[in-house]
Structure 1
C-alpha cells in the first residue's frame, strides 16, 4: 500500500537513505530492508493460508523494529506497496477505536466501530492509483459516505473544508467541503470485502476514490470541519492539495469539468 507519492518538484533520489524530518512529525526511513521484506513475503506465500494476513503480520513486526518506509511489491501483496513514516504500525480495535467529528458543526459526535457499521454502507470498486505510477485495478472498498457523517453532524455555514487526523500521530489530510460531499468519498471499513487491516490503515481509513492514494488517509481518527483548507502531511513536502488522478501536479482543474 502506498500513501506516499513522489513530490512533483525536487523528487528525492530513489535509493536515498533518509528524507527530511519535519519538526514534530514522524521521520521517514530509507529502503535498506527491501530485500529482506521480499524474502519474508516469499516465506508467507510458501506457508500458505491467508497470504495477505501473513504479509500484514510481517509488515507490522518488521516495521515495529525498523520502519523502512517501503516494502515495494511483495509476493502475494495484491500489487500494493507499503509506506510508513511512523515508528510502528498502530492498532485500534473494538474497545478503543473512536472516530470523532467536530469543529464547525452543530452536533459534534464520536463513533465506535459498531456505530459506523450500523450506518448505511456503500461499496465501490475502483482502481487504486498512486501518483508514482503504479495501480491496483478493481479494488473494492466499502463504508459510510463521508457526506452521511457530515449531514449528521450539521456543518455550519462558515465551514468550507475538512481536516483529517490519524491515530498514528503523524498523518493528516484535507478536502474542501465540496470535494468531501462527492458520492465517491468514503470512510472505509472494508477493503476487498474484508476489514481494513492495520497495515492498510485500518480499522477505518479515508477512501478518496477520484484522487491519488496519498489523499486516502490511513488510521483515520478525526474529522474536523474548518473555515479554510489546512494542507495535510504530504502537502507540507510539496505534494498537491488537490490530488485528482491525472489532473494534479500543476493542473488543478476539476476532473468532472
Structure 2
C-alpha cells in the first residue's frame, strides 16, 4: 500500500520543527510496510487534493499567512470538496488559522481565511507561550490506535481563536493556554480535519495521534484494516513523563 502525504508550503510554514510531523508519518508508514509518497508543494504549484491521503499545513507569520491564503483561494473549492470527501488534514497554528473565516491583526485589519472551518482569530495583546497538556475529546480522537486520552506540545501564538456554534474543540486544556486562553479549549476537529496550536513538533510527542491520522486515511480508501502495533515504549514513557511533570505545575 502507498499513502500520498502532501506537505503544503514547507518553505514558508515550518515553525518549531513542524516538518517533524511529516517525518513521523513517513516513518510510521515504513515501519508497517506502507510506502509513504511525500509531495512538497509551494506557491503556484499544481495540487490534486482528491488524490491526497493526508495534507499537512504548518505554522508561519502573519505576513506569510496573507500570501498563502491568496494562493489557496484559487483552489478553495477543490480543497473543500476533498475535505467533504474525507481528506485527512493536520493544520498547525497559522495553517489552522487559515482554514477559518479571518485573522484580525492588532491594527484592526482582517486577513480573510478560506472559511472551511467556522472559526476566527483575533490578535491578542500578549503571546501565549509554553508547554501544553490537552485532555482529548474521546469522540474527536477515537481510533483503534489511540492509547492516550492526552496530547502534549508547545504553543507560541498571539492569535486567539474562537469556535462558532456547532464546532467543538479537539480537547480541554489541562495545562497551558490553547485556542484563546479563555475557554479551556484547544484545537478543533471537523470531519477528518484536525487544527491545533501545538508545535514541538506535535506528532513525535503524540504517536497515537499520528496513527489516528493514518487509520483515517486508510479507512477513506475503503480498506477495513487495523494498523500493526509498533513498539512505542520510549515514546510512551516520554509522553507520560511530560504529562506528569506539567500537571504537577498546574
Compute the TM-score of the two structures, normalised by the length of structure 1: 0.27
More strand by share: 2
Normalised to the residue count of structure 2, the TM-score between the two structures is: 0.28
